[in-house]
Every structure is written in C-alpha cells, then in structure tokens.
Amino acid sequence: MSTESNWKPSLGFAERLSTVIKIQSSYQKSDPRVEKPNIAKFAKEEEQEIYDSALTLVDYRLQCDQIINNLKGRAAPDDEEEESLDTGVPEAIHIGKYVNAVHFRDGLYSDVYKAPNRTEKPKMVALKVTYPSAMQPPHNSEREIRILRAAASEHVVSLLDVFRDSAGELAGTRLVLVFPLLRYDLDHALRHKLVQEDQAKQHLKHVLSALDWIHNLGMIHRDVKPSNILLQNPSGPAYLADFGVAWYEKDPSSEPSDHKILDVGTTHYRPPELLFGNSKYTKAIDLWAAGCVLAEIASIKSDLQPLFDCTEGSELCLISSIFQSLGTPTADTWPEAMSFPNWGSLEFVQHKPKPWSELLPSACGEAQDLISKLIRYQSSDRITAAEAAGHAYFG
C-alpha cells in the first residue's frame, strides 16, 4: 500500500485545482444562496483536509468523489420546482457554536455533520444531531450519552460534549453529541481495500478490547458491525461507536434483563437467539456479531461477502442461511433454544453442518478456529471478548 511519503508527489497541482473547482461548483449548485467567497473557502479547506488525511492516491480520489457526489445529491431544484419541492438543509449550517457544519452521514434517528473546531482540539469534530422526541425504543440518545460517559475507555469513541441546539424551528428539540471526527469506518476501508488483513484484524482486536470493557460494566452494544467500527486512519486506531441502541443494566431507561427488546442488531450480524424471540439474551450477541465481522476480515483476499446471506432482508432468509451453513440445530446442539418462544413454530429442512474450511476457504486456519468459537448456536458456548482478543489469530 502506498504511504504518505510516496503518493503525494504523484498528485499534480492541476488535479488538485480541478478537484477544488468541482467541489466549489457542486457546492454552488447545492445552495445558490451561499456567497461565492464562502464557497471557495469551503472547497479549499475540504480538499486540503482530504489531502492531509488520505493515505493513498486512490483514497484521496475516493474521498473527493464522495463529497462531490454528496453535494450533487443535494443540488437545488430548478426554479420552476422550487415552490413545490423541499430543498432540505443547506449544505453549510450553524449548529450551536459550530459554524460551517457540513452533512457527513445519515442515521435512522440522527444526522451527522462535520465541522471545524476553532477554539480547541481536535481541529474537526463530528456532530451527531438527534431528535429524542421522534425516537422509538430501543433508540435513545439520552441513554446513549449516559452509557458513553460510563464506558469511556481507549477504544470506545470519545464523547467530547453534549448540548441542545437552540437555533431555528426545531429549537430545543435537537440533542447534539460531539465526537472527534473519524473519517473512516471499517466497512468503507474493507470495501475500498484501504486495509490489508493484518491491519483489519488489529482493528478488530481493538474492538474486542472495547467489548471486554463494556461487558464487564454490564453493557451490551447490540449493533456490532463494520460500519460501527470507526478509524482515525485506515491504519488505525479503531473505536467502537454508535451506542444508540446499547443496553446497560444500571441505566433506568434500559429494559428489564429478562425482557430486552428483540429489534436490535443489523441484518447479517444478528444472532439466532434474537430470531427465535429470546428476550433474555446476553452479551454473547455481541460476540456472534464480532465473529461475523471477523469472517469478512479473514476473507478479504476473496470476494467480500457477509458470512450469512440476508439479501431479501427477512429473518427467515437469515435463519435459512445460518442453518445451511452451521447445520439445522437440535436439542443437543442448541439446548437453550428449546425454551425460546418462537422455537418449534416452523419445521425446517435438515441441513448438515459445513466445515469452516468450506465456508471460508480463503481464511487461514487460526481465523477459522476463532470464528468457530464465536459463531456457535449455544450462546453460553461462545468465548468472551477477552478470550477472543487473546487468540493466536492476533499473534
């Protein structure tokens, strides 16, 4: 992989200037009301930030394309349509004391902006703008704040500040969480081949360290996946992020331990106990998800595909994929399932388990061994985060 010391000379002034002009043009179209000097300043700062943080020429171009496409997606409608179409939030806005905040990412109940931090370090921050009154359980930004404060540690994303936004029509209704700006996530890094397996597995080790910490505190993350593993740079360090649906035994707004909400986790990373209605699930759901993430990392040299297929987005599709891979469970292989509310409601085709060498042929033996200890039907049989972090796979 190219390093900062040898890729920048290959990027000519003409390409950088062209990029600034493209950003400027896209910004102008996204909100014609912004004065041109401000747009020019924004375009130069944005390109310079990407230039400073990118690790390769490909990375630089990908980031530039991303911001240009984002701006194009927010282009103002034609004059004839302006009265009938909502043009949305202007691309550069003020949020609290932060000026020139630019939309960065979307969430189900939040919008994330990046903004310069002109008074203190870090120089750039991420502003997670949430709408508590619109949230449905288990999403809860106020609980997320309490959990993040209690969970503060080396590889849990740092919560820098919290405030209620008092500007505009939504005055007082927006709760804003301030984080250091981490431009990368593991999903992006894997799909754009910004990391090799040796780097990615160290990122996962950082996350296992974070999981060990929060599990010992009595917390369950409930949404471990590559896009919730944020990176300072593709080379790291890595941080576990997005505690919006996390559960904490000491928090008054968390559900009772034996009646937890089942609608947690994301598609391919959801463990089977959730799919069969076990509301008494434990921290082991995070370990199953970590095993699914590891399977993607260990298969980085081949096609990057989730361990379990859920292309149709249905729970039955995911159950079928798990059963076809691990074998259809029985009372012997999954005894706890016999007491699950939804167990036995359907009859499934009987599948024999496939060996990990067949499921993940490009993964090394140590990776296959660790995955086999995390991806197990019986949740009590899954190894802990600390045990996983100490596995020989990590060297």
- Hey, what domains does the chain have and what are their CATH numbers? 13-57 (no CATH), 92-180 (3.30.200.20), 184-394 (1.10.510.10)
pTM to 2 decimals? 0.78
Asked if residue 32 has pLDDT above 80, the reply is no
Structure tokens of 9? 């000379």
What pLDDT, on a 0 to 100 scale, did the predictor assign at position 72? 67
What pLDDT, on a 0 to 100 scale, did the predictor assign at position 305? 84
- Find the helix or strand (DSSP H, E) in which 124 lies: strand 124-130
Asked if residue 230 has pLDDT above 50, the reply is yes
Look up residue 215 and give its amino acid.
Answer: H
Asked if residue 86 has pLDDT above 60, the reply is no
Query: Any idea which of 55-59, 164-168, 189-193 has the lowest mean pLDDT?
Result: 164-168
Query: Any idea which of 115-129, 218-232, 319-333 has the lowest mean pLDDT?
Result: 115-129
Asked if residue 1 has pLDDT above 70, the reply is no
* Cα dist from 37 to 19, 34, 182, 194, 387, whole Å: 17, 9, 28, 34, 56
CA angle 96, 155, 207 (to 5 degrees): 120
Residue (of 118, 119, 115) closest to 179 by Cα position? 115
What pLDDT, on a 0 to 100 scale, did the predictor assign at position 81? 31
Query: Any idea which of 70-74, 230-234, 235-239, 320-324 has the lowest mean pLDDT?
Result: 70-74
Residue with tokens 């690790």: 55
Tell me: the pLDDT tens digits for 234-265? 989 999 999 999 999 999 999 999 999 999 99
Asked if residue 2 has pLDDT above 60, the reply is no
Map residue 229 onto helix, strand or coil: strand
Confidence of residue 200 (pLDDT cuts 50, 70, 90): very high
What pLDDT, on a 0 to 100 scale, did the predictor assign at position 182? 95
CA distance 203 to 104: 22
Query: Which residues are marked as active site?
Result: 223
Look up residue 197 and give its amino acid.
Answer: E
What pLDDT, on a 0 to 100 scale, did the predictor assign at position 88? 38
Supply the mean pLDDT for the chain. Answer: 87
Confidence of residue 392 (pLDDT cuts 50, 70, 90): very high
In the chain, helix, strand, coil percent, each to 5?
Answer: 45, 15, 45
Q: Name beta bridge partners: 124.
A: 116
What pLDDT, on a 0 to 100 scale, did the predictor assign at position 282? 99
